[in-house]
Amino acid sequence: MLYALPMTRQIAPFHAMAIGRLAHSLAAQGRSIIHMEYGQPSTGAPADAIAAAHRILDAEPMGYWESAPLKARIARHYAETQGVTIRPEQVILTCGASPALVLALTAAFAPGARVALARPGYVAYRNSLLALGMEPVEIPCGADVRFQLTAEALAALDPAPDGVIIASPANPTGTIIAPDELAAIARLCASRGIRIISDEIYHGLSYGLPTVSMLAFEPAALVVNSFSKYFSMAGWRLGWLVAPQDLLDAATARMNNLFLTPPSLSQHAGLIAFDCRDELDGHLATYAANRKGLLAALPELGLAAAEIAPPDGAFYIWADIAHMLGPDIADSLAFCVRLLEDTGVAIAPGVDFDPVDGQHHIRLSFAVSTAQVQEAIARMAPWMRQRAR
């Protein structure tokens, strides 16, 4: 039976991008802006990766290309960090994690498929599913489960969804699913025929808990990853998809037709970035200090620590601001616009990540310098305290 796919399908805007545009506009007017709205490091690519890119620019014309050495290095990365064996051929290099998600969804599911995901969750999960003619099955996940999916919640879905998107560490909360719970989710999905897509883009960014790949528990999972977060290479637009054998041809065909190849220069730089761990772990130390400072400042910001799940990884804090809303600022988007205009601090509205309860949540990214975090706290604290009163 053919699924009747509409010619166009409405998806919600990504409001954090609009906040970013306003922030850049204010900066162009001479305002001092602190960017905490985007989920991207404020640091650049590792120095050795940049140096390699300069050499390549001088020596090679480049063109459409998929780096066999980089695919082999990624496969070795899973063996070294996860104890998981994958073949380099299973690695599809992509133009960032976003195309990898599209490849995974379209290779694994047909239009009309039902795919479960946590709410709150990354805005593009829901909107990509809708744009592709699939049905997002959002599972509300509160502070009691640290805003994360559980095997119990998936077991309660009737009928079982066709697939599920797992994110650990998660955006916007930074929480990590413990290894035993990941194993339970894998067993549950295997028993109910649910295909797993695991977004592991924040692997490498953890403050104590392990970041375990779903491949350790389910070799047939599709795994999305990228150089944008830990490797500090968001602007280089380089990511990858690990595809299981049964979907490899389908995913590869989609990559070749929809996106061709990722930038050749980025692939050369990415290969070198894998061996820049000391520099990259220095960024992680900065994030850890920023996390500590923001969590300590919650009372000063008028935010209740009891209502926040301290992030285990990534670089976000997800906070409830319901007590700061009122007739003049009715929701999180209006809150973020006013905060930016009044203080010069740009943060993301929760409505991007949760269309139900996100109206009274915000996401703060602490992937900036420690000095910027301290300055942001100093600017936001009197403004937020006034709102709380």
Residue-range domains of the chain with CATH: 15-44+278-388 (3.90.1150.10), 64-276 (3.40.640.10)
Q: What are phi and psi of 58, to 5 degrees?
A: -80, -20
The pLDDT, as a whole number, for residue 12 is 85
The pLDDT, as a whole number, for residue 11 is 84
Using the 8-state DSSP alphabet, how is residue 275 labeled? T
Ranges of residues in the chain whose predicted pLDDT is under 50: 1-2, 7
The pLDDT, as a whole number, for residue 1 is 43
Torsion of CA 377, 382, 387, 389, to 10 degrees: 120
Which residues lie below 8 Å from residue 293, measured CB to CB, with a gap of 6+? 370, 373, 374, 377
**pTM of the predicted model as reported, rounded to 2 decimal places:** 0.94
The pLDDT, as a whole number, for residue 116 is 98
For 349-375, write each residue's pLDDT tens digit: 999 999 999 999 999 999 999 999 999
CA atoms within 13 A on the CB side of 371: 1
The pLDDT, as a whole number, for residue 319 is 95
Q: Are the C-beta atoms of 95 and 263 separated by less than 8 Å?
A: yes
Which residues lie below 8 Å from residue 62, measured CB to CB, with a gap of 6+? 56, 264, 265
Which residues lie below 8 Å from residue 173, measured CB to CB, with a gap of 6+? 120, 146, 147, 148, 309, 311, 316, 318
The pLDDT, as a whole number, for residue 308 is 82
Structure tokens at 204: 């490498």
The pLDDT, as a whole number, for residue 8 is 62
For 272-331, write each residue's pLDDT tens digit: 999 999 999 999 999 999 999 999 999 999 987 657 888 999 999 999 999 999 999 999
The phi-psi region of residue 185 (left if phi > 0; otherwise alpha if psi is between -120 and 50; otherwise beta) is: alpha
Q: Where are the alpha helices (DSSP H) in 15-117?
A: 15-28, 47-59, 68-82, 97-108
The pLDDT, as a whole number, for residue 290 is 97
The pLDDT, as a whole number, for residue 68 is 98
The pLDDT, as a whole number, for residue 24 is 97
DSSP string, 167-179: ESS-TTT-----H
Residue with tokens 């560490």: 169
Q: Are the C-beta atoms of 118 and 111 separated by less than 8 Å?
A: no
Backbone CA torsion sign across 112, 165, 44, 341: positive
